[in-house]
Amino acid sequence: MEDIKNVLWDLLKKGHMERKLKEAMIFVKYGDIVGEKIAAVSKPIFFRGDTLFIGVKNSVWAHQLLFFKVEIIEKINAFLATPLVKDIRFQITGFDEGRPTSEGAKNPGENIKVELPAKKKQMLYNIAARIKDEELRSKFIELYVKDFEFKAKRGDKQCSST
């Protein structure tokens, strides 16, 4: 009988979800990875390619964390089985209830409502159902939905199909 861990990873690879799960793990375990002091003033906000964007409280912390950039990248990649982050960019954000919110210009597509197609929704919940850690499962679903919404708002053709 095959180990459930191997079955899950194979399923995630087939659905091209392995990277998204690793990204979600970074978001969920960020404080454990970088330490309490850094996590108190910064939070990961999104990925673009191999670059992780981290929100910080103010410009002083953004400048200070630049000195620890290489160390933070190494800690994150050491946490994962395979390296995922090649660069980090720090952005000044506000923190609302422990979650970063951008203080910059609003996204022009922000008010557009995007609905996840039923087929993609079913696939997402089938994959997520196998994640035992409830917090990780919730963050995984949230990250996937946000990624889908972001791509749909910018007009990604893959999001319009089921």
* Predicted TM-score of the model (pTM): 0.56
Is 4-157 CATH 3.30.300.180?
A: yes
Grouping H, G, I as helix, E, B as strand and the rest as coil, residue 88 is strand
Q: In what order do the strands lie in the sheet with 99-102?
A: 42-48, 51-56, 87-96, 99-102
Top-confidence residue, 71 or 143: 71
Top-confidence residue, 123 or 99: 123
54 pairs with which residues across the strands? Answer: 44, 90
Q: Pick the closest to residue 92 from 54, 64, 65, 66 (CA basis).
A: 54
DSSP-derived pairing of the beta strands 51-56 and 99-102: unpaired
User: For 44-50, which contacts have Cβ atoms below 8 Å and span 24 or more sequence positions?
Assistant: 45/91, 45/93, 45/100, 45/102, 46/150, 47/23, 50/84, 50/85, 50/86, 50/87
Region of 35 (left: φ > 0; alpha: ψ -120 to 50; beta: rest) is left
Domain boundaries, the chain: 4-157
Average pLDDT over every residue of 63-86: 92
E-strand ranges in the chain read 42-48, 51-56, 87-96, 99-102
Average pLDDT over every residue of 63-78: 94
Q: pLDDT confidence of 156, banded at 50, 70, 90?
A: low
- pLDDT, tens digit, 9 for 90 and up, residues 88-115: 999 988 665 445 544 444 444 455 566 7
